């Protein structure tokens, strides 16, 4: 079983509340979303594993059980072309839960009209594979978001 922790501090709001039909419709996969605190912050690894995909606005860490967890920093933030994001890790890095991956500022994302909400998704998982999914609660960075069986 994999415990997936929050890559940042904020409020777990669930995928249905994400202002993007691809995420809210669970097309990418099940999980939850975090509405981040409005201050410059560092998004951290939600599991121990290997960074298999890394962009300024999103990253995927795959753990030892082959579970890939996508963290997407904001909605439509790919359109910012990396502006306001600083990579702190590299693709292929082995990371531990809580290791810094990307520095960003949700306030700047909002200032350019984008949502700072961050989906945290279990890739290639079925909804019934997840338990104890956080929704409607405040979570610290590193707080449990869900477990994946």
What is the number of alpha carbons within 13 Å of residue 31 lying toward its C-beta?
Answer: 31
DSSP 3-state percent helix, strand, coil across the chain (nearest 5): 15, 40, 45
- Joined tokens for residue 124: 């290639």
Q: Which residues of 32-62 are buried (b: 16+ CB within 10 A; e: fewer)?
A: bbbbbbeeebbbbbbbebbbeebbbbbbbbb
User: Which residues neighbour 19 within 8 Å (Cβ) at sequence distance 6 or greater?
Assistant: 75, 115, 117
As a whole number of angstroms, the distance between CA 48 and CA 63 comes to 6
Name the catalytic one among 55, 57, 67, 72: 72
Catalytic site includes residue 72? yes
Catalytic residues: 72
């Amino acid at each position: 079983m994999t415990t997936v922790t929050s890559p940042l501090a904020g409020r777990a709001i669930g995928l249905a509340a994400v202002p993007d039909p691809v995420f809210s419709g669970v097309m990418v996969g099940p999980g939850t979303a975090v509405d981040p605190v409005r201050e410059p912050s560092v998004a951290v690894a939600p599991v121990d594993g290997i960074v298999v995909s890394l962009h300024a606005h999103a990253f995927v860490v795959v753990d030892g059980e082959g579970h890939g967890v996508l963290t997407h920093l904001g909605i439509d933030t790919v359109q910012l072309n990396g502006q306001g994001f600083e990579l702190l890790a590299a693709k292929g890095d082995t990371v531990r839960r809580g290791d810094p991956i990307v520095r960003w500022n949700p306030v700047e994302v909002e200032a350019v009209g984008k949502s700072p909400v961050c989906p945290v998704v279990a890739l290639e998982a079925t909804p019934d594979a997840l338990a104890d999914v956080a929704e409607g609660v405040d979570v610290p960075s590193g707080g449990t978001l869900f477990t994946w069986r």
